[in-house]
Amino acid sequence: MKNSQRKWIGALLVLAGIYLFIGGNRGLWNLYKLHEDKAQLQKEVGQLKADIMRGHAEYQAYQNDPSVIEKQAREELNLAKPGEIIYRFSAAPSEH
């Protein structure tokens, strides 16, 4: 082989190695993306755990305090106790 051919083959091997090191399946770029995905998933797990804790606290409140159920029903279903008067106020109309 000629000296110039060896240089080209060597250069191609170096470029292929660099590509595999940076862009390959286990390359730096892929590892960086996986690290970002892991951080995002950990954030989502934290949010879901907080939602579970709120749900558990709400469940406990419904289990232990009947007034919580009454308040929820009155707000969502517009229920009133006998003799109660409910006043409703609408938002002010927006000016155009």
DSSP class of 24: S
Instruction: Please list the pLDDT of the chain residue by residue as tens digits (96 residues).
Output: 677 888 888 888 888 887 777 777 777 778 888 999 999 999 999 999 999 999 999 899 888 888 888 888 888 888 888 888 878 788 877 766
pLDDT of residue 96: 62
φ, ψ dihedrals at 72, nearest 5°: -60, -45
**CB neighbour list of residue 29: distance below 8 Å, 6 or more residues apart:** 22, 23
Distances (CA, A) of 23 to 32, 66, 88: 11, 60, 63
Torsion on CA atoms 63, 66, 69, 70, rounded to nearest 10:
180
pTM of the predicted model as reported, rounded to 2 decimal places: 0.53
